[in-house]
Amino acid sequence: MNKINIGIIGAAGYTGGELLRILINHPNASVAFAHSKSQAGKPVYTTHTDLLGDTDLVFSGDDIQGLLNQEGLNVIFLCSGHGESQKFLTEYTLPAELKIIDLSTDFRDESNGFVYGLPELQKEKISTAKKIANPGCFATSIELAILPLANAGIIKNDIHVSAVTGSTGAGQSLSATTHFTWRNNNMSIYKAFTHQHLTEIKMSLGKLQDGFDKAVNFIPYRGDYTRGIMANVYTEYEGSLEEAKALYKSFYESHPFTHVSDAPIDLKQVVNTNKCIIHLEKHDDQLLITSAIDNLTKGASGQATQNMNLIFGLPEDAGLRLKAPAF
């Protein structure tokens, strides 16, 4: 097939950079433009220095409407901050056939015609969508830990989650809690019980388990490393560990990136990949589900590329067979 022509809005940030790394090596992709107001006119590799020698792209920054109207453009990725996508779609006129994949939180409630883009939840709906709202990183890791239970309709009690994320989860702009001197050799809780991803998590569980109304008690942690999320989720479960493993392996059998491990897992198995790896344990009447993803790939730009592949009828894993560091 002809290559997919792609535009990236907000290409200077972490998710924009990760998209560029994936897409310039994607066999079916061609990046038509990488837009950045702050870096306009500069080579992409001056911001994403690891791309030196890989691309001669220069950040565009002036006539966005002209970029959107260029002949042959197939899809744009919106990688600006939360709230910016709504402004963008209000300010600019998009061609009728142009696909949109939004990495912000703006349309994860599936408003304005957007489809929530978690392939393990609604792959078929994504495949025919024009507009995709890419899930949040914490939401992805937690939903993948719980979806098989919801699909079986057996979540009968509250869900408890503690999850830790790397510093890239806070974005590229500096703040008091992202400086090296504060983050290194440190850990802290933030947004306990109130994290913004709770809304989409509950929405997704409700899609599979009718009348889902249990609490999701979520304690997020800032970790002193760069990338990756490990979520530990537990809830009451009446079956055996063997039955739980069979349930999870069956649910994810047709999904190429989510795997159930019989052995305990660690973050280095998933960093720099689009994988989610899950491990199950049974403790008395509680099922403990550990879920690990990379917050920038499966939690953002990798999953966005996975959604692009589905929209355009490509193999789901095209351009996404990425190697974990492992050691």
The one catalytic residue in 73, 115, 121, 137 is 137
Could you report the per-residue pLDDT of 242-300, keeping only the tens digit for each?
A: 999 999 999 999 999 999 999 999 999 999 999 999 999 999 999 999 999 999 999 99
Helix axes 241-251, 137-151, angle to 10 degrees: 110
Tell me the percentage of the chain whose pLDDT exceeds 70.
96
Give the strands of the sheet with 115-116, arranged side by side: 29-35, 4-9, 75-78, 99-102, 131-133, 115-116
Q: Which of 316, 307, 321 is nearest to 76 (CA)?
A: 307
Quote the CA–CA distance of 86 and 240 in Å, as a whole number: 46
Q: Are 233 and 248 in contact (CB under 8 A)?
A: no
Quote the CA–CA distance of 116 and 110 in Å, as a whole number: 6
Could you report the per-residue pLDDT of 193-243, keeping only the tens digit for each?
A: 998 899 999 999 999 999 999 999 999 999 999 899 999 999 999 999 999
In this model, does residue 29 exceed pLDDT 70? yes
Q: Are 11 and 32 in contact (CB under 8 A)?
A: no
Could you report the per-residue pLDDT of 102-118, keeping only the tens digit for each?
A: 999 999 999 999 999 99
| Mode of pairing for the β-strands spanning 229-236 and 276-283 | unpaired
Q: Are 64 and 93 in contact (CB under 8 A)?
A: no
Output the CA–CA distances (angstroms, integers) from residue 148 to 137, 251, 286, 297, 320, in the order listed: 19, 6, 15, 22, 24
Quote the CA–CA distance of 327 and 316 in Å, as a whole number: 27
| Mode of pairing for the β-strands spanning 216-222 and 188-189 | antiparallel
Quote the CA–CA distance of 197 and 41 in Å, as a whole number: 35
pLDDT-based confidence at residue 152 (cuts at 50, 70, 90): very high
Residue 79 bears catalytic tag? no
pLDDT recorded at residue 173:
58
User: Both tokens of residue 223?
Assistant: 């970790």
CA atoms 300, 305, 311, 316: torsion sign: negative
| Mode of pairing for the β-strands spanning 131-133 and 188-189 | unpaired
Cα first-last separation, the chain = 37
Classify residue 50 by its DSSP letter: G
